[in-house]
Amino acid sequence: MIYMFLANGFEEVEALCPLDLLRRAGLQVTTVGVGGEMVIGAHGIAVQADVPEAMFRDNNPEMVILPGGMPGTKHLDASRTVETALHVTAAKGGYLAAICAAPMVLGKRGYLEGKRATCFPGFEEYLQGATVESQRVVRDGRVITAAGMGVAMEFGLALVAAMKGQEAADELRRAVLAD
């Protein structure tokens, strides 16, 4: 299962665009609301998560996705549920994905050690142990990071490629007229 964690103050486009692309690709994604089912984005858009974090139970997630935005990233960083999900996912060989400010959550926990990664400008110091790249989207093994809202579609397509292969991502890119 793929999980996307949403916290109050998340960047809406960074969450909803990749979520849409993953679901269009036929992948099952569950949104998890940090702090409750109803989550308010950084720009006032309310989203009802599929489950509140208190109900999150999975000991074999395939991917965890963290959208950025402020103060959403800070709420993700403070969540024990997010921390547990990241730990279990990494231990089981799943993918860890984060965009904008959210790669800091991965960096602060050592998941970027020895990896190439990117983030929104100004958050590089939190990418502890990473080689910081200026690319818009960076995939290094089982870690996928992206720079911000303007690359949400590229990020989403990179997530699809990780889960279903590059051919599926290319087909989806053509289908949604992303070229």
Q: Annotated active-site positions, please?
A: 100
- β-bridge mates for residue 132, sequence order: 117
Pick left, alpha or beta for residue 151 (phi over 0 → left; psi -120 to 50 → alpha; otherwise beta).
alpha
What is 94-124 written as a DSSP string? Answer: -EEEEETTTHHHHHHTTTTTT-EE--STT-G
For residue 22, give the 3-state DSSP assignment. helix
Q: How far apart are CA 142 and CA 152, in angstroms?
A: 18
Q: Tell me how many helices (H) and strands (E) the chain has.
A: 6, 11
In contact, 58 and 91? CB cutoff 8 Å: no
d(CA 139, CA 150): 17
Angle formed by the axes of helices 152-164 and 12-24, to 10°?
Answer: 30
